[in-house]
Chains A and B, each alone.
Chain A
Amino acid sequence: MFDLNVPIASSFLGLNNAKKSNKGKQPVVGNALQYTGPQIAVIEARVDLLIHLGYTAIAFNQTVNKKVDPKTHVNILDILLKQLKPRKEIVYMKRLTIILDEDSEKGFGLINAQTSLFNSYDLISLVPTNQATLALACLTHSLPSPLTAHIISIPLTLPRLPFNLKHTLVRTAIKNGAVFEINYVGAVGGDNDTTMTDANAAENGASAKRNWWGAARELTRVTKGKGLIVSSGAVADLDFRAPDDVKNLITLLGVSQDISHCSVTKSPKSLVLRAQTRKTYRAVLSEPQLVVPDQQMEEAPESIPPAPMVTEDTANSKKRPRDEPSMASETDGSKRKKKKRGKEGGQR
């Protein structure tokens, strides 16, 4: 069972927003940052509880407001994972969430130059807060690349959903492989991650629950249940719920039982797998093998292009492999057909 949003506050390590006094001074050296004993104990207790409830794959989440500043950004989760004790059969993952608002429309650090910074995270997600950033997140950032943000987390506890969930945007995002996330902490009435509330992306309080039900229902209506994952987002230990209970909660939003089962099991699993494609070229996971057709065709071996070129062809995976121009003129129809089949057979 997957819980893909266990927030870890940046304030744990004493790293605060750029507003604070650190700006002028030297950036803190990464090695010096460590979680203290009691902090680790708290996190270990939370993981114990999650395991007791039945979760086996946990993604720790670091939230950043507005944009990622390469100079001051520290991957707190790397430091955390080194200090947590390894558990059998439990998978830990690292996730980065970026809250987008009007200021981030111009750019928020998810650019090619900083790919190395983002490679240390297994999952990237975006929290759009207005129509423009939603469009950005759905269209530009869901395309396969080393910087795809696979998770789009809609803020569900805001008083009025700040944007219309346009059907076309949502459909495109899901077709590209992105996924929309529902955090159930809003329904249970727990507190959200402080970075989110500070950035006005979440609310705690009596009306938060009501907003959650409305917004979540709207989200399930637009996505029709496909491309949905559910995760906790809970900060307090007692706000977590067992995966079956969460499944039941999603059913109450009007989603049918099997789709809600998918959103708790299959969707997060395929999402995690898909997120691994960030480290590959253009979302190709397996390595294609060139199958040389048998030796009846003497000309064929010479005109078959060498292996690297074949790989590049398949890497533009959505397109069919084009015939090499050199082959086209030389051979006759039947041989070309055989070669084509041989090529395609190899790329399967």
Chain B
Amino acid sequence: MVRFKNRWLLVEFIPLDQSKPTQSRLDSKQIWAALRDSIQENFGDVGWGCVSHSLTVKYFSPTTNLCIIRVAREHHRIARGGLTLLKSIDGIRLLPHVIDLTGTIKHAQLTAIEHNRRVVARFRARAGTSVSYHDSYDQYLETSNQEIQSLKD
């Protein structure tokens, strides 16, 4: 009826140097602040006003640089534009790459879990570890899956 519709953006922040999988020292508050500054700078107070009440950073993983952002459906374009025009967060240069744009949280969760697994696979391939070796990534996948599943609308 008069349901409030959202869009869930799955964003990967690609750092400057992809070969070294270092822990990113960002956190969700910094991302929110940087996104707010970008929208205010590019779309003004009007643009920020469209988006401010519904913009939330729901999840961020420093290991895989994956971020889940929720915006209202009406003005999600402005939020996505602000994201594309973002150059750096807190001085760290980044490349924002929107992997997926979904209408429900369910699909966002599925894509997020799949993305995490893929990134971990890439790390492992680069490190050349054997298949049976249990490294810290296993535990990371466990905890991150739980976090993602527990996200609520």
Kindly count the residue-residue contacts between A and B in the assembled complex, taking CB atoms under 8 Å apart. 49
Given A245-B97, A248-B80, A238-B87 contact (CB < 8 Å): yes
Judge whether A251 and B87 touch: CB under 8 Å: no
Q: Chain B: how many interface residues by the 8 Å CB criterion?
A: 18
Judge whether A240 and B95 touch: CB under 8 Å: yes
Q: Which residue of B lies closest to A249 (CB)?
A: B84
Q: Measured between alpha carbons, how far is A245 from B97 in the docked complex, in Å?
A: 8
Find chain B residues with CB under 8 A from A238 CB. 14, 16, 87, 93-95
Find chain B residues with CB under 8 A from A49 CB. 14, 18, 95
Judge whether A245 and B87 touch: CB under 8 Å: no
- Some 10 contacts from A to B, beta carbons below 8 A apart, are A48-B18, A52-B97, A188-B85, A188-B87, A189-B85, A240-B95, A241-B95, A248-B80, A249-B84, A252-B77
Which A235-274 residues have a C-beta within 8 angstroms of B? 237-238, 240-242, 244-246, 248-249, 251-252
Find chain A residues with CB under 8 A from B84 CB. 188, 241, 245-246, 248-249
Find chain A residues with CB under 8 A from B78 CB. 252
Q: Measured between alpha carbons, how far is A252 from B44 in the docked complex, in Å?
A: 14
Chain A contact residues: helix, strand, loop or mixed: helix
Find chain B residues with CB under 8 A from A33 CB. none
Chain B contact residues: helix, strand, loop or mixed: mixed
Q: Which residue of B lies closest to A236 (CB)?
A: B93
Q: Measured between alpha carbons, how far is A52 from B19 in the docked complex, in Å?
A: 13
Tell me if A222 counts as interface (CB < 8 A to partner B): no
Find chain A residues with CB under 8 A from B14 CB. 49, 52, 238
Q: Which residue of A lies closest to B95 (CB)?
A: A238
Judge whether A189 and B81 touch: CB under 8 Å: no
Judge whether A245 and B77 touch: CB under 8 Å: no
Tell me if A28 counts as interface (CB < 8 A to partner B): no
Q: Which residue of B lies closest to A244 (CB)?
A: B98
Q: Which residue of A lies closest to B86 (CB)?
A: A188
Q: Measured between alpha carbons, how far is A241 from B81 in the docked complex, in Å?
A: 11
What's the least CB distance linking A208 to chain B, in Å? 13
Judge whether A237 and B16 touch: CB under 8 Å: yes
Q: Which residue of B lies closest to A252 (CB)?
A: B81
Find chain A residues with CB under 8 A from B85 CB. 187-189, 249
With A189-B85, A242-B98 given, can you name 6 additional A-B contacts, CB distance below 8 Å?
A52-B18, A188-B87, A238-B14, A245-B98, A248-B80, A252-B78
Q: Measured between alpha carbons, how far is A245 from B94 in the docked complex, in Å?
A: 15
What's the least CB distance linking B126 to chain A, in Å? 13
Q: Measured between alpha carbons, how far is A224 from B94 in the docked complex, in Å?
A: 33
Which B46-75 residues have a C-beta within 8 angstroms of A? none
Q: Which residue of A lies closest to B79 (CB)?
A: A248
Q: Which residue of A lies closest to B16 (CB)?
A: A238
Find chain B residues with CB under 8 A from A187 CB. 85
